[in-house]
Amino acid sequence: MYKILKKQSLNSTVTLMEIEAPLVAKKAEPGQFIILRVDDEGERVPLTIADFDRVRGTITIIFQIVGATTFALNQKNEGEYIRDFVGPLGKATELDGLKDVCIVGGGVGCAIAFPIVKKLSESGANVTSIIGFRTKDLVILEDEFKKYSNKCFVYTDDGSYGEKGNVCVPLTNMFNEGKKFDKVISIGPLVMMKFVTMATKPTGIPCDVSMNPIMIDGTGMCGGCRLTLIRDGKRITKFACVDGPDFNAYEVDFDEAMVRGATYKNFERQAYEESCNLKKMGENFNG
């Protein structure tokens, strides 16, 4: 059993939890993920590590409430326990030798991007961060990004906060001004990562993306995170959870990944609504 030491609502649909898990924290690195079960009857769910503290033995996870499991997880409070919490899993993000990096995060993907920004900053690298959200109410981790970034751009689609536009606007502006990075790392919705990749490719700057959004069970057995890479004209099959989650952005077949990523959305929504209804029925009964 793993104790919840902290619970914080970042916005109406996104929650941060700090979990007591010393063995996981001991070896955790940016880019890796854990698999948890809320209770004995729960399904396995992979969540990327948003932060870790080796001294305190804690792991921070940030999740969006989209299905039955994340709904159940969000019902837990500080001092309560999660049944299973396994990790760290997946390959850590490769950061060795990078001195000048641009990190592009979108929405909840910023939770995955943050530990990368933090480690790069602590290693002495120059970090430019671009974080984008649909609207002001969905902005998360702004202060954390600004703390560890040499420069941080905040954009919203509707202009309700920061600058108006998408994350490709400041990225393209910097490229047009002749800015060069050792690497661009993009983490967020698949469509966002696709367009960041398209914007970066003409510069010849290496670009990596995290395919965490398409992971389902985190073990490679379900096949839901199957990914097609196009390398030297050949189509190669990989799995985001066991071969990644980070990949060379220029090799990823984003169109195929977006189709596969939408496969379970209706199921997740239905499971979430059923969980909400059961909770309301219980509250009415107890009341």
How many whole angstroms separate alpha carbon 127 and alpha carbon 232? 31
State whether the Cα torsion 122-127-132-135 is positive or negative. Answer: positive
For residue 247, being part of any structural domain is answered with: yes
pLDDT class for 143, splitting at 50, 70, 90? very high
Looking up residue 59, the CATH number of its domain turns out to be: 2.40.30.10
Residue 269, Cβ neighbours under 10 Å: how many?
Answer: 12
CA distances from 155 to 23, 36, 105, 111, 171 (A): 37, 32, 10, 16, 11
pLDDT digits (tens, 9 = 90+) for 18-52: 999 999 999 999 999 999 999 988 888 888 899 99
Q: What is the mean pLDDT of the chain?
A: 86
Opening angle at CA 125, ends 89 and 98, nearest 5: 60
192 and 246 housed in the same domain = yes
pLDDT digits (tens, 9 = 90+) for 188-225: 999 999 999 999 999 999 999 988 776 665 555 566 67
53 and 178 housed in the same domain = no
How many whole angstroms separate alpha carbon 78 and alpha carbon 95? 34
Residue 179, Cβ neighbours under 10 Å: how many?
Answer: 14
Rounded mean pLDDT, 114-132 = 95
- Full residue range of the structural domain in which residue 29 is found: 2-89
56 and 110 housed in the same domain = no
Query: Does residue 79 register a pLDDT over 80?
Result: yes
The total number of structural domains in the chain stands at 2
- Comparing 70 with 271, the larger pLDDT belongs to 70
Please report the pLDDT score of residue 265 as a whole number. 52
Q: Provide the 3-class DSSP secondary structure of residue 11.
A: coil
Please report the pLDDT score of residue 226 as a whole number. 77
Which 8-state DSSP code applies to residue 92?
P
Please report the pLDDT score of residue 238 as a whole number. 87
Of the candidates 212, 216, 238, 241, the residue with the CA atom closest to the CA atom of residue 227: 238
206 and 257 housed in the same domain = yes
For residue 76, being part of any structural domain is answered with: yes
For residue 59, being part of any structural domain is answered with: yes
Cis? peptide before 170, omega within 30° of 0: no
Please report the pLDDT score of residue 183 as a whole number. 97
pLDDT class for 270, splitting at 50, 70, 90? very low
b or e along 76-97 (b: 16 or more beta carbons within 10 Å of the residue's beta carbon)? Answer: beeeeebeebbbbbbebbebee
84 and 104 housed in the same domain = no
Which 8-state DSSP code applies to residue 201?
G
180 and 233 housed in the same domain = yes
Query: Does residue 269 register a pLDDT over 90?
Result: no
For residue 194, being part of any structural domain is answered with: yes
- Tell the residue number behind the tokens 């109406």, with chain if given: 12
Last residue of a domain, one of 89, 118, 150: 89
- Tell the residue number behind the tokens 């099959």, with chain if given: 237
How many whole angstroms separate alpha carbon 284 and alpha carbon 287? 5
79 and 197 housed in the same domain = no
Opening angle at CA 46, ends 137 and 48, nearest 5: 55
Contact yes or no for 87/33 (Cβ under 8 A)? yes
For residue 106, being part of any structural domain is answered with: yes
Please report the pLDDT score of residue 66 as a whole number. 83
At 84, the amino acid letter reads D
Report the Cα 250 to chain-centroid distance in Å: 20
How many whole angstroms separate alpha carbon 164 and alpha carbon 16? 26
For residue 273, being part of any structural domain is answered with: no
146 and 199 housed in the same domain = yes
How many whole angstroms separate alpha carbon 150 and alpha carbon 128? 6
